[in-house]
Amino acid sequence: MKSEDKNKENSKCIADILKLEFLNTEEKKMIKDNVVSIIYPKDTIICKQDEEIEYLYFLKSGIVKFYKQDNNTKKLSFITYDNIFINILSIFKNIDIGKKNEYTLLAAEECEVCLIKIDVVKELLMKNGDFSYHLIKEIATGSLYILNTYVSIYRRQVKERIAFLILFFREYYNDNSYSFPLSRVEMAEMLDVARENIIRTLQEFNKDGIVELKGKKITIKNLDILLKLNKMGK
């Protein structure tokens, strides 16, 4: 990438990450000097659990998987996409105590991520109240998004959970036909459902003409039924 193209991409990151009207000239320069845009190919690790946090990550585009490892067992905990800080909770939990990532973050597809050095974030938090307020709002928004998604999933029956996930990705791809970015095992882990139940329910959906399955590709054939199932769990 040419230098001017790289600077242009980094400027876009700056605009996406922060409300620059909150910053003075010196603070804006701090941001510009310490922000970089990186493209992570599909299945690339963005950061690892328990590694030292060096950057605040803003997901500009793509889907990210959150994995939690415990006793040598790795489990998919969550997924998210587009325009969200993806490690902000780890940062504010650990900013002064070792600064370790709470999750391993993996690109489910090609992702563009904007990175800003954590030391710069910390310095701005200490110096600029408006900047701090903006990030607190981002934390609250991200926390509520995760909490509401989990609550929405766990009060549903199996069919309703799977319908929710199919519609979740339909909204992201803005298409009734797409390549499903999760394996059956990952679906089971995220939805807290046995893998066998995931497979059986998808087969039922396919047989009943609700969806059509061809490998990883899923095509929604009866959107109304999925919407009704999704609504039942709310």
pLDDT tens digits along 52-104: 888 889 898 999 999 988 877 778 888 888 778 888 777 766 555 457 888 89
Output b/e per residue, 10-46; b: 16+ Cβ within 10 A: beebbeebbeeebbeeebeebbeebbebbebeeeeeb
Give the end of a domain, one of 120, 152, 184. 152
The pTM score is 0.81
Residue-level pLDDT at 2: 38
Q: Are residues 30 and 146 in the same domain?
A: yes
Give average pLDDT by consecutive 10-residue segment, the chain, 234 residues: 46 60 82 88 93 88 90 81 80 61 91 89 86 81 78 87 94 94 92 94 96 95 95 72
Q: Are residues 147 and 161 in the same domain?
A: no
By three-state DSSP, how is residue 231 classified?
helix
Q: What angle do CA 65, 172, 78 make, to 5 degrees?
A: 25
Structure tokens at 96: 């002064």
Give the end of a domain, one of 152, 181, 204. 152
Q: Are residues 134 and 224 in the same domain?
A: no
- Contact call for residues 92 and 81 (beta carbons, < 8 A): no
Give the end of a domain, one of 152, 182, 208. 152
Q: Are residues 146 and 195 in the same domain?
A: no
Q: What percent of the chain has pLDDT over 90?
A: 41
CA distance 73 to 188: 15
Q: Are residues 113 and 201 in the same domain?
A: no
Q: Are residues 109 and 183 in the same domain?
A: no
Q: Are residues 132 and 180 in the same domain?
A: no
The CATH number that applies at residue 205 is: 1.10.10.10
Residue-level pLDDT at 95: 53
Q: Are residues 20 and 132 in the same domain?
A: yes
Residue-level pLDDT at 56: 87
Residue-level pLDDT at 77: 83
Q: Where are the alpha helices (DSSP H) in 48-128?
A: 88-94, 118-127
Residue-level pLDDT at 150: 78
- Range of 94's domain? 3-152
Residue-level pLDDT at 94: 54
Q: Are residues 207 and 145 in the same domain?
A: no
